[in-house]
Chains A and B, each alone.
Chain A
Amino acid sequence: MKASKRIFVWIIISLVLQCSVYVFLDKVYYAPEGNIKYTDVTPQVPQKKITPKVVLNSYAKNISLSDDLCYTAYISNGQVTVVDTNTGKATGNLTYASGVKCLAYTWIPHSDVVIIAEELNGKQIKFYSYDAEPEKQEKVEIGSAKDSVPAGRNVTVDMRISDQTGVLYVKVGYSETLDKIYRIDRNETINRIVATNVGIMAEDYDDDQLAYEDLVHDTIRTDYTPKPRIAISGVYKPGLIGSDENDNFYVGNGVEQSSKVYYGKLTDNTSSWKNISLGTMVKNNSIVITQNGNVYIVDRENSKVTDAKSNKSYSYEGNFWQINDGYIVYTDGGKLMIKKM
């Protein structure tokens, strides 16, 4: 076929294809709605009492519950599973394409929605939200294809989300010394934050403020321009512990373990920050900050949780997983348990 004839045919094909799509969009997708049905439905009601009936296999890890304790999530065999805490039954429509490995998940505060980070064929990391509530169970992709985050060998992911601003920060660990932080805003735009070797990350619940440990310089950096570093007088190597829903960030007086926890707002001078003495040296990863600002010390050896402010202790049996809304969440012989504190 002559080149000119071929191009002519291709132009015709293009016009036919384009017009077919435009006709569909014009006459179907964007046509005025002409078929509206109204049905009386029974509204969903909140579950009142939670009595866990969840049995977990020994491979289940990262076990955590939604804020209302109604749903339990865990990672097993590279997949996130969400079950109804009261029945132990898996919720619907949470499926994965072949070649997908779930790297991490996080619950959105005050909701039954999880955000899942999936690695696709070892090439890119995609993010999905999934609402566990009946009638809503649908997995929705976050962000567009052009904004994907690159994966890597043995990549790790940690996520923090602000309840109020909807900004999601994702730490992707590519190696022992290389991490990258990505910021996904409400418009689902993905941007990279300049950071290389990052430890713990914490985000303000109310404001768009991120703090993270810079392991190269043993300091805590923030993206709040008036205070790019959290420096506390007398603390040589601070360690970031977490944040609460009253805009407070919590900093330990050591990178690995601390005997004192300082806390306050980024907008306040650190000299006016308050502090809590822990009485002894405690590993930073055994200090838990809850949304309402309580500080707990988890003693895994003695199966005990102590409120650092009131010094009150609570015992449990088995493996500790989290403190959620005033409950200790743990597994005992594979059975999920919750205990009110």
Chain B
Amino acid sequence: MSPPEFRYIGQHLPRKEDYRLLTGQGRFVDDIDIPGALHACFVRSPHAHARIVAINAEAACEMPGVVAVFTGQDLAQWTTRQRMAPPIAGLQPMEMDTLPIDKVRFQGDPVACVLATDRYLAEDAAEQVLVNYDVLPAVSTMWQALAPEAPRVDDSLSSNLLSHQHAEHGDVAARKREAYRVIESTFSQHRQTHLPIETRGCIAVWDAGRQHLTFHVGTQVPHPYRTTLASRLRLSESQVSVISPDVGGGFGQKIALYREELTVAALARHLKRPVRWREDRLENLLASSQAREDFCRTRAAVSADGRLLGLELDIVEDFGAYSFYPGNYLARVVAMILTGPYKVQDYRYDVKVVLSNKVGNGPMRAPMAITSWVMDGTMDAIARELQLDPVAVRRLNMLQLQDFPYTMATGEVLADITPRETLEGALAAIDYAHFRQRQQQARAQGVYLGLGICTVVESTTYGSRFYKAAGIAGSGHEAAWLRIEPSGAVNASVGLGATGQGYETSLAHAVAEGLGILPQQVHLHIGHTDIAPYGMGSRGARGGTAGGGTLYLCAQEARVKVLAIAAGLLGLGDSAALRLQDGCVEKMRDGIWTATGVGLADVARTAYLDPLALPAGIAPGLEFHKTYEPPPMTYSNSTHVCEVEVQVATGAIRFARYVVAEDCGTVLSPVVVEGQQHGAIAMGLSGSLFEQVRYDAAGQNLSGTLADYLVATACELPHFELIPMHTPNRATPAGIKGMAEGGVMGAIGALTNAVNDALAPFDVVVNQQPLTPMYLRDLLREKTNFIHKA
């Protein structure tokens, strides 16, 4: 709930983008018709690791509809190599060809591109491209990758250890010596993939006359993408326009400039013909970025009453074969924000990121997803070991309002978050005390209920200072413009990339509030690099704070000028007594706001068409531009509580309830925020229960279809009960905090902790995912004191 001082922010308005999407008139990349475009189809390696000996495309070139076949050697002439080498201690530099020339590194690695007049013919021809490989031994697990004589995934590196960072704050060794116990826990998260329902795709149109590339691609980051694309093609940024149309989900998969996309762009320019590519689902599962595969170990030094004295974290992440993103980037954030809502100053972490013969990793909605599971799972381990109530252990260690601002051991500053409040809110909603009674009664009947708690501190918006401190290149600022047209119509733009999160609606609320007009009258233009200002795009959950914040500030500036002009029109010396409400100028008269008869259209007409009538010092036009640098880090928080029943005979998990108490700061659009929370929790639960990218020992991808890679359907997910407990952030425009990833973090932790709670009578602890029925049964079967009640 937003504070009452907002008129438009927090209004419950249905979305503006719905009409076209509901009626099948959305415009996704593959819907765009470009006459004469050739269709690309990539020839992909069947091997996980192999030298490319020779590629013979003669037969393929003879086939109907085929225009040409290109390989890595060709692409090397028209593009630069990618060099991923941010100056970060412990991170090895990596380079990547546009298409592999020497060797392939995962099953699905693209080695050639067939261009034909339609996709069917291109696929026919792709089958006839003969590639001679020399198969090499593959690395298929993180442990194999770390072994001393492991085959090297990247021949330019001395091992498969891509990144190794460690840090110590305080004196963990001393805390361990003093501790009553040192409790060790492990958490193993499996490999997953983003699986947007719309796969990747792009269209490249090269205008030879103007030497200009127009590139249609669904992307979360239009401008950074454009910068990279131009650079790789050795073009000026002025020669490239990136247009992101409607996008069917991104979740982090649609950020990097992928090799297939760069290939399509380079070939369009080379052939002087438009080229298009739509990734099919097999390719998406095989060759689009994957995520998450982490192994974490914590050692918690605790006092007898459960107080956390010191904490160690070791992470190993299996990063796949290529750096589509910097190798340290994902795991490092986990280490930096791990302690989250808990008080601990003595903390050591060690993060290793290794290469393997799998697809390269990318950030998947809540790349730091494992964080809250690990931290709250450690709290549960403490409770188990010391035979304390898990809630009591959390309460004992959790930061309270009076502790803020709190500087975490890693230097991150937590402020304006309410983890203790959301913890209590969620526990009250699920009636914790009564649950324990029900649990006891149920156990007597052979029914195993469990309750899991997970408090999330979600880093939403990364400021430039955070990146600098972490040694990550790049900025956290955002840019916006707003233009009031002569008729009073309002157009606005920001440098984000929409992929379904309702920006046309939520950001309209921000503009409306800043300016003083109805959200329905604000029109957002997003995704076109020639139209939108240069921004950092949509990643993490920065849309609200960075995007909404910048637009809000920009709109406020617009309002100042609008009212100054209105004051002139009304013959007033200044605008102190004026406000703009619903697009009408009102004057404070005897304590009451009264209509003046002057509206936004009047002001705009004057500004554009009668500038001599403007007050002294005011320039013509009503066009505004603003950039905004958010604080180093902005957080929102939530507590997820999940009640399950584990059917011990089969290992199946049934949801009883799912509750989340959330503090997302000022909510621009409650409609959008609700949807984001549902979607995030759904993705976390789906991932924990069903999703798994599996590679066998030879590096063959066993999850190549949607019959293998399972995602939750409408029958597998619970009702989500959302309890709003929003409090504003004092350091951001309008108190916005942002959200959209915390749900994933909380769901993973709450579910796993609930399963452990349910299986406590059997002395079973799950420490890996997915939580398949088979896995639970294996654990139960192992315990010889388990007596199966029929």
- Report if A and B associate in a common complex: no
Chain B interface residues toward A at CB < 8 A? none
Residues of A near any B CB (own CB < 8 A)? none
